[in-house]
Structure 1
Amino acid sequence: MFDTIALASPPLQQSAEFAATLALCGQQAAQLDDGTLVLTRRIGWLPIALLSRARLDPQTLPGLLARAGLRRSLILMNPDAPCPGLARMGAVPLITPAHVAELDLTGDLMAGLHQKWRNRLRHARSQGLHVTQGPLSQDTAHWLLTAEAAQQRARGYRNWPTALTLAYARANPGAAQLLTARQGGTPIAGLLMLRHGTAASYHIGHSTPAGRASSAQTLLMWHAMTWLAERGVTRLDLGPVETEQTPGLTRFKLGTGARARPLGGTWAWWPPIGKTLRPLARLDRARMFQSWTDAPAPDY
């Protein structure tokens, strides 16, 4: 059931909504014959093509790239699932796979919650919080966006630029849903979800100290899960999970009943050299396979 649902709803980076956002920003994504979106740019003399969260078939990929006029581009690939066949076509692995948490929204959501997550939800409901929800406004100084930007700088990670997030909301009216928890009229937690097709992605979440003390983010996530399910969304992508770097966030995501699954890592291939680098790819095969099989688990 879950795998069928996942196949029916492409990842955010391969969605029609993302393509519309790029077009609004003046960056038209190329598209292979099978519908895969490709971002292109040039570094000096070398054209680059990025296939992000793509569902790839190594047997047909060379032909698809050639017909799209990309036979001279350096191809960077982040497959949406393990794709060892890329090594056989001569692609070289650069980065071992990350894992993402994905939640099936078609079942009994309450039954899928981990007991401690359910306890935090019960706690949040007793705090007198007021939850509001609606489309993201075009306010560049919105408190959630500025808090996210500050958190990125403090923790040294990168998310979408604010301009791209706002463009997504403009290009896809109603698809960027903002949930806010208030205590005494003051925002203490915010959650931004992006809908795409029959799927949705967790995009930004932030809690103040008061929000953390009242488990406000748990309440917002529950509201988002149930709201999406009621509107026919079947899969929620909660983003990367990493037990060593962000154990608390990983527990929060997996506590919803989501399961962790591996992506395909990052690969590079330059069509003009074909299969020349196949021996180099084999050197990293064992390390890539280990990353595919070591899925994070919640540590409650």
Structure 2
Amino acid sequence: MARAGGKWRNAWRKSQKSNLKLRHTQFDAALHNWLLVEDRKQQRRQKYRSLPHSIIHSFSAISPRDVIVFCARKKHDDVAAMLFLQHGEVATYHVGWSSAHGRQTNAHYALLKHAADHFVRCGVTRLDLGTVDTENAPGLARFKIGSGARVRPLGGTWLRIPGL
């Protein structure tokens, strides 16, 4: 929180007054299918593509305890969620979704803080928030940068295929 920007901290404080119930659990394909459905809708609506959901399912099959879903509830409804993949001492933000009520209550601010606290207790030393795209997703970029995250350029991921 010390590195977070003033506006980010204020949004987080507002989320604390919203009576959100925060929880986290291991990813379950049947239980969390709604999140993947909402993510697909969001991708179509906002005209972007992320990594395929098959990565989540494969990662979960190999290491089920390392795919964690954080949810914010208001009354009986999920209003926001974040899905992280933990690999060694790093956790990567993979999917995020928020309803209109989630945005109104700043649920993602509460969820990111909750996730960070959880991962620190698990021995994670770096939380990777993913790409920061100030042109195509300026709101998400502001959220990530405002959290106090250090933005740094990364090289591409390369796969060497024998014979090519």
TM > 0.5: yes
Provide the C-alpha distance between the structure 2 equivalents of 1:213 and 1:261, rounded to a whole number of angstroms. Answer: 30
Residues 190, 207 of structure 1: 8 Å contact kept:
yes
Deviations 1:36-60 (A, max 9, x none): xxxxxxxxxxxxxxxxxxxxxxxxx
SS of corresponding position for 2:134: coil
* Structure 2 residue aligned with 1:211: 102
Q: Which is greater in Rg? A: 1
Give the 3 Å change call, closer, same or farther, for CA 121–232 of structure 1 in structure 2: same
Equivalent of 2:126, from 213, 229, 235? 235
SS of corresponding position for 2:64: coil
Equivalent of 2:11, from 120, 123, 144? 120
SS of corresponding position for 1:217: helix
Residues 199, 235 of structure 1: 8 Å contact kept:
yes
Give the 3 Å change call, closer, same or farther, for CA 266–174 of structure 1 in structure 2: closer
Deviations 1:97-155 (A, max 9, x none): xxxxxxxxxxxxx2111111111111001001111111010218722110001112222
Residues 27, 64 of structure 2: 8 Å contact kept:
no
Equivalent of 2:83, from 192, 209, 214? 192
Match of 1:176, as an amino acid?
V
Match of 1:172, as an amino acid?
S
Residues 79, 101 of structure 2: 8 Å contact kept:
yes
* Structure 1 residue aligned with 2:148: 257
Match of 1:237, as an amino acid?
D
* Structure 1 residue aligned with 2:37: 146
SS of corresponding position for 2:2: helix
Deviation at 1:212, TM superposition (A): 0.1
Instruction: Give 5+ residue unaligned stretches, structure 2.
Output: none
Match of 1:180, as an amino acid?
C
- Taking only the aligned residue pairs, the percentage that are identical comes to 40
* Structure 2 residue aligned with 1:174: 65
Deviation at 1:180, TM superposition (A): 0.5
Residues 188, 211 of structure 1: 8 Å contact kept:
yes
Equivalent of 1:160, from 51, 66, 69? 51
Provide the C-alpha distance between the structure 1 equivalents of 2:3 and 2:56, rounded to a whole number of angstroms. Answer: 30
Instruction: Give 5+ residue unaligned stretches, structure 1.
Output: 1-109, 273-300
Deviation at 1:264, TM superposition (A): 2.7
Structure showing the higher strand proportion among its residues: 1
Provide the C-alpha distance between the structure 1 equivalents of 2:30 and 2:15, rounded to a whole number of angstroms. Answer: 28
SS of corresponding position for 1:112: coil
What TM-score comes out, normalization by structure 2 length? 0.91
Residues 71, 80 of structure 2: 8 Å contact kept:
yes
* Structure 2 residue aligned with 1:279: none
Deviation at 1:255, TM superposition (A): 1.1
